[in-house]
Structure 1
Amino acid sequence: MKMWFLGTGAGRPSKYRNVTAVALKLPEPDCNWWLFDAGEATQHQIMHTPLKLNKLEAVFITHLHGDHIYGLPGLLSSRSFDGGVTPVQLYGPVGIKPFIETIFNVSATRLDYELVIHELTGDEGIIFEDDCFQVEVATLEHRVVSFGYRITERDQPGKLLVHKLKELGVEAGPLYGQVKQGHAITSPTGVVIQPQDVTGPAHIGRVITILGDTKPCGNALHLAMGADLLVHEATFGAGMEEKAHEFGHCTTAEAAQTAAQAGSRQLVMTHFSGRYSNEDLGALEAEAAAHFPNVIAARDLLNVEVKRRG
């Protein structure tokens, strides 16, 4: 899985960075992708990546402040022009549905695909499940209702050890599929073969946590527990906690402290105030590294690979 930081700024675009949006490309074979927030001009940023709008599968909105949603109507509309015909699932706080419907009605926008809108209260817990992923939501502490999302990839069976199967007299065929799915099989000579005997180590599912705007809070810590990658806002530098909390935000030090307390493996900070230039990001990164060493201060179009454990 790979993640693109399409915009890393807070409040409004600056000459250093666009406003918030993060794209997560899912593993093969589907290679679809999910979008988390869609600040103004998100679709322009997508043009600088390999991502295609017709492969967009789901959108998750953290909260309804403009720097997180003003790019959404245009992006959804452009998807029709980009050959998108499969359904898109849209998740977000109560109010996201009338926001989209009003703009589409006023502008006479018609989509060539089904847009399924799910309005969330934050009390739902798990909001999405399929054979590969589970998504959990929880409410954070901001000036408006703001969510964090925890994406958990399901464990996958290890590689089939074909040479061992052949040694046991099992040739290619339906039995290979059964053992790959975790079922015991019986060889032609009557030997019962357990899946763990003929498969390599299982692929442990990855966990990604993407938090919306928030002050330090218990749900941020809960969602980040054991995450392979934690995406955390860091609107202000260390020492500006009072100002950060006044506006419902965190500092670099607080983002790092959450990552450390949660046992996360990697932290990427984003949503930086316009007061910081790109030349300042190294200093912001150093502030966080004093509390959590494996940290990156994101720049627009940063691409991060989410690696498997082990």
Structure 2
Amino acid sequence: MTHDIDFTGVFPAMCTPFDEDERIDFETLQTDAQRLETAGVDGLVPVGSTGESATLTHDEHVRVVESVIDAVEDVPVIAGTGSNNTREALELSERAAEAGADGLLLISPYYNKPEQRGLVEHFRTIADAVDLPQIVYNVPSRTGRNIEPDTAVELASHENIAGYKAASGDLGQIGEIAERTMDEDFAVLSGDDALTLPTISVGGTGTISVAANVEPELTCAMVGAALDGDYARAQEIHHELGDLFRELFVETNPIPVKEAMEIRGYGPARMRSPLSRLSEEYRDDLEAVLDDLETTSPAAADDSNVEPAAEGE
């Protein structure tokens, strides 16, 4: 297929809100999707790692995707459908496609630790069967296996594999993949908020972001400025967001971002076990950072009318 999504800009990795009985709070989920769309993001990514996909049943997984699709009007929805079981990932991908997802995000198989040839076979199996643009997601800290540059470049040649979410922390590797896929219809997206600006500087197209759940306007302003080549402005906003980037990863994602969402009034901080609420020792610092961004941010004032990042290219 010809990719019908422009994977340029800011794509929040959405949280999944739960009620007091740990059931999915679909009303809050939809309100949050609409908030983010109004803020100017370029797409939404439900049921990824930040969406606690590991603790959702397959039926819940699909219902979250359907709920987000129903809530928004003009932004694509990229459903997280990865698994360490190729058959399971394929089933989730097919069901997300049937639900109306615009694209898929596929984490590399975790725990199994396949060889690179196994990774190629895994992603190609899904790309051959599901006619949607797909992003392969490299996060070795969670999976125990790195998607090597040669593997990413090989996958980029598949017509349905549209991009690479980079969360390895290795900027040299990220830059190599961007360089070697310049002639492909292939996007390289940051999967690490602290490296979004550096990733764009070496050829990246944007970010699948945790921080954008909390500060979507500023994240869009930063990415838009970088894509426009205004690196002085992008750097200013990057440093303004720096404390938030750090606070959102003091414990395992999405523990801190769900706490931040609750502080801001966007949704509950409840987690499904085995994840737990943010430790009290970190909450005051997180609240202070959020207060500073809300009340003293010159960038927030300057960019109150910033257009979505992808439109600034």
TM-score (norm 1): 0.35
User: What is the TM-score normalised by the length of structure 2?
Assistant: 0.35
Higher strand share: 1
Q: Which of structures 1 and 2 has the bigger CA Rg?
A: 1
Query: Relative contact order: is structure 1 or structure 2 higher (C-alpha 8 Å, sep ≥ 6)?
Result: 2
Q: Which structure shows the bigger proportion of residues in helix conformation?
A: 2
